[in-house]
Amino acid sequence: MLPGSEEKVFTIMQRYQDSQLYRIRHSTAHVMAQAVLEKFPEAKIAIGPPIEDGFYYDFDLPRPLTEEDQVEIEKRMREIIREGHEFIRREVSAKEARALFKGQPYKLELIDGLERGGVDEYGEKTDEPVVISTYRQDTFEDLCRGPHVANTREINPDAINITFKAPAGAYWRGDENREMLTRIYGTAWQTPEQLAEYLELLEEAKKRDHRRIGQEIGLFTFSQLVGKGLPLWKPKGAVLRDLLERFLRDVQLSRGYEPILTPHIARVRLFETSGHYPYYKDSQYSPFEVEGELFMLKPMNCPHHIQIYKDELRSYRDLPVRYAEFGTVYRYEKSGELHGLTRVRGFTQDDAHIFCTPEQLEEEFLKVADLVEFILNSVGLTDFRARVGIRDPESDKYVGEDEGWEHATQAIIACADKRGLDYTVEEGEAAFYGPKLDYIIRDALKREWQISTIQVDYNLPARFELEYVGEDNERHRPIMIHRALYGSMERFVAVMIEHFAGAFPAWLSPVQVVMIPVADRHLDYAREVAAQLRDAGLRVEVDDSAGRMGGKIRSATTQKIPWMLIVGDRDIEKSAVSVRLRSGEDLGAMHVADFITQASHIVETKALQLA
């Protein structure tokens, strides 16, 4: 049932695991563990695998780790590496292993697992019979499957770093009910240049952090009094969000969607019927009582939308029905999980639900996929891949009959194939009511963000007993497609900020043009031109502050305003403006009318470039 793309992911992982870089990182993790144990002989060691971009090792340490400790450990690691120790593998019996790791409770637990079989030293399931092996370099011997480099000399001591990231807490075996260990992250590369490049990328990501840029250009803020995870949109942020919403609203209208509006709360019974309440109780806010009846904040919009569908008897001639709403939902996220605009407690989804017949399913799904790709391309997120999320066969957090799941999964895969999408299939990524197709974009720094989602649902129509009257005059059950393109407006804006580093395409810039007079006597002309631009539909501000021209240019540049129009005597004479872009490019003087034509064209075509 799984198509070839799963194999593709597997091969990428396999290629990494077979690589020299993987062995270097795995070996550096061992070297780090040795250095840590030398410093803290009473430390307990857990596991230390390579990860994307580096490695980590988890320890149970006698005290919190300081920056100085990290510097010291890193220094010692370089010494160990330079000493040129061989990595020596040996296979041991469970009994020998237990003797070897006496006093290391985490290792002993791992050995138990290995002996029982079926689980490797990282707790991952494996079908192969497990051989217990160890690797030793210098004084340090670790329970490990490998592979490693032959000698520490293969590690470049100037291409490793463990101080770039603060030590972090991590649960033993990823279980929040178990011990909290100290995780030290490290990164290791083959050359110092690669390390420098990686560290620069982290710097760049920091500079693009939407929380920082959002503050700098005045898009949003948070208030202690309002509460954590509840963003407040300032005027410029609200303009940006409104532009995105308006664009999508217009496109949806032209593609047969009908806008609806629903309230933010509902009776708990609604979510008991939908199945949200029992399944996701932990991530919902406590119900509150109103006149003896329990209500709650809505964690999803679908049940509300379904009630509108149910308000009328539907004929097959009415279908598909496509209801769209920018619906605000509230979900309880643990305080430590909150993060800027990307993880919040109240957010607005560009939600829509399509009710269709089984015969219409494929066509409707493909139409949504087309819409998704049109929107992503329009906003400049042109690098994306897709993921088919299916049930985790081990988990019981799903509702409904196998048959519906099977149909839905097959329909999604058929559509993805038909569209020629580059996709992977991943278990456990389904919604609780159905499988889905997610679009994952890659931003300017090649980081991935899950944005759009299309979900096929046989379950909620059954739970709510949805019907339509078919050609045969019999009652039939419609299928629902849930979809969101931006996903959540909050998260989407965050992604846009980081992707464009705050320098949005002109059509999305909260302020598109700033008028900068050379001297105060040019202010009247600046205001006149501003009025003309405003009439032409451009968002323009006049910088009438006390500073000098240079300062105003600097200020507009840091605010990432696309066009600066500098006006002085020379421009007034010719009814012109001198155009400077936020990139610093000087386009020289042009007639006001010409600027309006050019700028309007760039805005209307949603061009990514300003010239």
Partner RNA sequence: GCCACCCUAGCUCAAUCGGCAGAGCAAACGCUUCGUAAGCGUUAGGUUAAGGGUUCAACUCCCUUGGGUGGCUCCA
384 binds RNA (CB under 7 A): no
Beta strands, E only, 195-290: 220-221, 232-233, 258-259, 265-267, 288-290
Distance of CA 419 to the CA centre of its chain: 24
Residue 584 found at the interface with RNA (CB under 7 A): yes
Site for RNA in 191-220 (CB under 7 A): 209, 211, 215
Residues numbered 588-607 forming contacts with RNA, rule: CB under 7 A: 588-589
**Nearest distance, CB of residue 152 and RNA, angstroms:** 26
> Given the complex with RNA, which of 156 and 284 has the nearer CB atom?
284
Cβ atoms of 478 and 511 within 8 Å: the answer is no
Rounded Cα–Cα distance for residues 308 and 325 (Å):
12
Active site residue 75: no
The yes-or-no answer on residue 436 being catalytic is: yes
- The catalytic position among 298, 482, 499, 522 is 482
Site for RNA in 408-427 (CB under 7 A): none
Binding mask 425-444 for RNA (x = CB under 7 A): ------xxx-----------
Residue 173 annotated among the catalytic residues of the structure: no
Can you tell me which of 208, 276, 305, 353 binds RNA, judged by CB under 7 A?
A: 276
The tokens for 124 are 């991952």
Binding to RNA (CB under 7 A) within 509-548 occurs at: 518-521, 545-548
DSSP 208: T
- The answer to whether residue 158 is catalytic is no
Give me the count of residues in the chain.
Answer: 611
d(CA 463, CA 172) in angstroms, rounded, equals 39
Rule CB under 7 A: which of 217-236 touch RNA?
Answer: 222, 224, 227-229
Catalytic annotation present for 349: yes
Q: Give the number of residues in contact with RNA, rule: CB under 7 A.
A: 74
Please check whether residue 345 is in contact with residue 404, taking contact to mean a CB–CB distance below 8 angstroms.
no
Choose which of 72, 332, 419, 532 interacts with RNA (CB under 7 A): 332
The verdict on 569 binding RNA (CB under 7 A) reads yes
Q: Catalytic residue, from 60, 69, 350, 351: name it.
A: 351
User: At its nearest, how many Å lie between RNA and the CB of residue 335?
Assistant: 3
Which residues inside 102-121 make contact with RNA, applying CB under 7 A?
Answer: none
Q: Which of 199, 549, 607, 608 binds RNA (CB under 7 A)?
A: 549
- Cβ neighbors of 363 (< 8 A, separation 6 or more) are none
- Distances in Å between the Cα of 434 and the Cα atoms of 211, 389, 406, 459, 492 are 34, 9, 10, 7, 23
H-assigned helices in 53-209: 67-82, 94-100, 105-116, 192-207
Which of 511, 514, 517 is closest to 539 using CA atoms?
Answer: 511
Hey, which residues between 292 and 331 contact RNA (CB under 7 A)?
299-300, 331
List the catalytic residue out of 252, 349, 360, 455: 349
CB closer to RNA, 214 vs 380: 214
Of 42-50, 347-355, 369-377, 582-590, the window that binds RNA (rule: CB under 7 A) is 582-590
CA distance 419 to 518: 55
- The alpha carbon torsion through 213, 214, 215, 216 (nearest 10 deg) reads 40
Chain residues 334-363 in contact with RNA, contact rule CB under 7 A: 334-340, 343
Which position has the token pair 């040019």? 522
The interface region with RNA, picked from 149-157, 164-172, 232-240, 256-264 by CB under 7 A, is 164-172
Residue 486: HSE in the Cβ half-sphere, 13 Å Cα cutoff? 32
Active site residues: 302, 331, 349, 351, 353, 436, 482
